Structure 1
Amino acid sequence: MTRQTHLDARAIVLLLLCCLLWGINQVAAKAALTEITPLWQAGLRSVVAGLLVWAWSASRGIRLFERDGSLGGGLLAGLLFAAEFACIFVGLQYTSASRMVVFIYLSPFVVALGMPFIAKGETLAARQWAGLVLAFGAVAYAFAEGFSAPHSPNQWWGDALGVLAAVLWGGTTLAIRGTRLSSAAAEKTLLYQLGVSALALCAAAIAAGEPLPLQWSPRLVGLFGFQAVVVTFASYLVWFWLIRHYAATKLAVFTLSTPLFGLLAGALLLGEGISARLVAALVALAAGIVLVSR
């Protein structure tokens, strides 16, 4: 199918809404860790969202289980998706939600580096590469704070898991675009990831000996419901629809605006401190976005 190389007004509005939700999502996940362990939180989130995707598809007559050659790509994308969120939820135990959301958005570099091997029409110009290098340097500058002035003894470990999650997210985008998933319905693409990650993450939680939460407070229900229904079901469905209809490099780079929402949400909702180094890194990230988006 033909993809639009430029983002129109509809795509920009949808992306901004998704970025806002994703920035707040890290705060919700961090807050919920006081009542639910990380792997169970990630795994059960995929279970609930997967059931919602299945119900949504059934109501709209979307066929999810017909043979279309997408199984291999779907399994790969699902495993990468599971590993990504295992890194995020475990990493949030050691670093702040504000820092985590900055590191996750290294994923556009992975997409930009890998996409020319998949779609030659989605290469970046020299000025755009300069923007990516600038943004990468900003993230490296922020990461160094985990060693020089950490908020906790193992902050660097949580930061490193955030970087690894970014690599895995970028790999998921490349797997979708480089396999038969690129022509599959957004619902099927998302269900692959949710189904595989639900099994993998819940199995990992059992293997790690994490206790299954049996008592759910209204606070936990609200935090978990926001993640499962609003973010994992609704916003991810929109995201995969965008990947199918617009240039992946443009989409991935635009999501670098998410750290701004994450920093603000962490400060306002969790009272997390925002250092001058992190603010400087965010400014450089924004400059990189401008260079790449021009």
Structure 2
Amino acid sequence: MNTTTLPLKNAAGLGPKLMLCLAATWLVWGSTYLAIKIALVSLPPFFQMGSRFLVAGVLLAAWMRWRGAPWPSRRQWLHAVAVGGLMLGGGMGGTATAEQTVGSGLVVAFIAVMPLMIAGLNLFWGEKPTRLESLGIAFGLVGVLLLTQGQGFGASPAGLVAISVACASWAVGSVLSQRSLPLAPGAMGFASEMLAGGALLMGLSLVSGETLPSSIEPRALWAWAYLVVFGSLVAFNAYMVLLAEASAGLASSYSFVNPVIAMLLGVTLAGEHISGHEWLAAGVVLVGVVLLLMGRARR
């Protein structure tokens, strides 16, 4: 199945900036989940994610201030706290927690249900799904149910809870950032979100009693640096641009490209085992996402 055909067709009329943003969310994000797994050998989940977003947020905010961008207003900071707490605190914190006990490929396969959750949340704003979109949501739910019955999530109930919380938090944050909690304009808004979310994650790290080992493995540091530069400064900002300037469906199209990349990287580079049942379940989820996006395109 060619997983890039549909988004490329939908993106045909987009400008170069949005096309580059799509490429970043599809390809770069697909590799960051393996980087999270590698960094976990020395850096606990909340500390890893919190320090990553704080550093990226400081760098981005400093760059924008140097270019003359104003600081966010008080209301925009409050929005950044809410959205950053959901998308980064709950979303990325939960993802890293899940990867402690579940393979990175399976975690991303579960995350593929994100557009379906966003479509469900949009019901509260009166956006009813079409028949094709409803069929996609049904396929996605069946696929996730099959995925939870596989050996990966079956062996780690805690990992299943963590990734479920992560997906719900990210979906709610994404919808609220579009509907009712706008951030400051441009990259300064993204920086404020990373600063707020990073601070919350560092607080969670402190409260949960996370500690660093006496020596940190070099590969963990390299993986962390990759997450800061490519996962946060490049891919995350690209996603926020898509949320601001493209449809929610197109912005979340990364979710059916990422699992393929992440599962292949996990198997080939990290030695993760994915059973035939789990590949099938991931395929059912991806079919649901494709049907959903097809329905949005026809709408």
Q: What range is the shorter-chain TM-score in? A: 0.7 to 0.9
Correspondence 1:285 to 2:285: yes
- Letter paired with 1:128: E
CA distance in 2, matches of 1:102, 1:274: 11
Task: Flag structure 2 segments of 5+ consecutive residues without an equivalent.
Answer: 1-9, 295-299
Q: What residue in structure 2 maps to residue 52 of structure 1?
A: 59
- Give the corresponding residue for 1:75: 81
Q: TM-score, normalised by structure 1?
A: 0.86
Q: Quick check: 2:116–2:292 contact (8 Å CA) kept in 1?
A: no
Contact 1:75 1:193 in 2 (8 A): yes
Structure 1 pair 141–152 and aligned structure 2 pair: CA distance change class (3 A) = closer
Q: Deviations over 1:224-264 (max 9, x none)?
A: 00011111111111111111111113322453221111101
Structure 2 counterpart of 1:163: 164
Give the match for residue 136 of structure 2.
Answer: 131
Distance in 2, Cα, partners of 1:13 & 1:139: 30
Cα distance in structure 2, aligned partners of 1:85 and 1:150: 20
Query: Helix, strand or coil for the counterpart of 1:61?
Result: coil
Amino acid at match of 1:132: I
Residues 270/61 of structure 1: CA separation in 2 closer, same or farther (3 Å cut): same
In structure 2, what is the equivalent of residue 34 of structure 1?
41
**Could you tell me how far 1:214 is from its partner in structure 2?**
6.2
Q: How far apart are residue 64 of structure 1 and its match?
A: 2.9
Equivalent residues in 2 for 1:87-98 (5 A)? 87-98=94-105
TM-score with structure 2 setting the length: 0.85
How many angstroms apart in 1 are the aligned matches of 2:57 and 2:213? 20
Per the alignment, residue 142 of structure 1 pairs with 147
Alignment check: 8 A CA contact 1:77 1:192 kept: no
* Structure-1 separation of matches of 2:191 and 2:69: 12
Q: Check the 8 A contact 2:113/2:255 in 1, yes or no.
A: no
- Aligned residue number for residue 206 of structure 1: 206
Letter of the 2:96 partner, please give it: F
Deviation at 1:63, TM superposition (A): 2.1
Give the alignment of 1:1-294 within 5 angstroms: 7=11, 8-9=13-14, 10=16, 11-12=18-19, 14-66=21-73, 69-80=75-86, 81-118=88-125, 123-145=128-150, 149-150=151-152, 153=155, 155-181=156-182, 184-212=184-212, 215-294=215-294
Q: Which amino acid is 1:188 matched to? A: M
The one-letter amino acid of 1:82's match is G
Determine the C-alpha separation between the residues in 1 that align with 2:113 and 2:132: 18
Unaligned ranges ≥5, structure 1: 1-5
Cα distance 1:107–1:189, how it changes in 2: closer, same or farther (>3 A)?
A: farther
Determine if contact 2:83/2:181 at 8 Å carries over to the other structure: no
Distance change (3 Å), C-alpha of 1:110 and 1:189: farther
Number of the residue aligned with 1:3? none
Question: Could you give the per-residue CA deviations for residues 7-58 of structure 1, whole angstroms, max 9, x where no partner exists?
Answer: 3354455324312222211111111111111121111111111112112312
Aligned equivalents of 2:182, 2:213: Cα separation in 1: 35
How has the CA–CA distance of structure 1 residues 168 and 116 changed in structure 2, closer, same or farther, with 3 Å as cutoff? same
Distance 1:224 1:179 in 2: 32
Greater Cα shift, 238-247 or 103-112 = 103-112
Q: Does the Cα contact within 8 Å between 2:140 and 2:287 map onto a contact in 1? A: yes
Larger deviation: 102-111 or 263-272?
Answer: 102-111
Aligned partner letter, 2:263: L
- Greater CA deviation, 80-89 or 187-196? 187-196
Cα RMSD of the aligned pairs, angstroms, is 2.3
